[in-house]
Amino acid sequence: MLVPLEDDPRFAAARAHFDAGDWLEASDLFEELYFEAVRDEVPLVRLLLQISTGMHHIARGQRRAAVERLEEGLRALGEVTNARGVDLKEVERVARDALARLPDVYP
């Protein structure tokens, strides 16, 4: 029997890494969860996976990959129907702020 996403300890761990800015750890866990996600879990996990991966690319100086992942994450935002306690406005703010700063950080 599948455990609902919000009850999976990996989801809690991934969210904690995301909130702490541990982007690689967050993206690794979200990727694992993505391949197991069902129904309305998929857009939320895709959103968090893409944003955390984009932020990791920023940390590595990979501007193009960062922009692609962050923009893909923002597109997934509109598909989320059940946020499962995730503050979607904060996730969006993180992504948009990162995109706005990219030209200054990595011209």
Number of domains in the chain: 1
What's the domain range around 86? 5-105
Task: With cut-offs at 50, 70 and 90, classify the pLDDT of residue 105.
Answer: low
Mean pLDDT of 73-101: 95
For the cut 90, the answer to whether the pLDDT of residue 4 exceeds it is no
CATH number for position 34: 1.10.3450.10
Residue 104 has pLDDT above 80, yes or no: no
Report DSSP letters for 38-81, one per residue. -TTHHHHHHHHHHHHHHHHHHHTT-HHHHHHHHHHHHHHHTT-S
d(CA 20, CA 26): 9
What pTM value is reported for the model?
0.92
Q: What is the pLDDT of residues 33-60, one digit of tens each?
A: 999 999 999 999 999 999 999 999 999 9
Given a cut of 90, is residue 3 above it in pLDDT?
no
Please report the pLDDT score of residue 8 as a whole number: 94
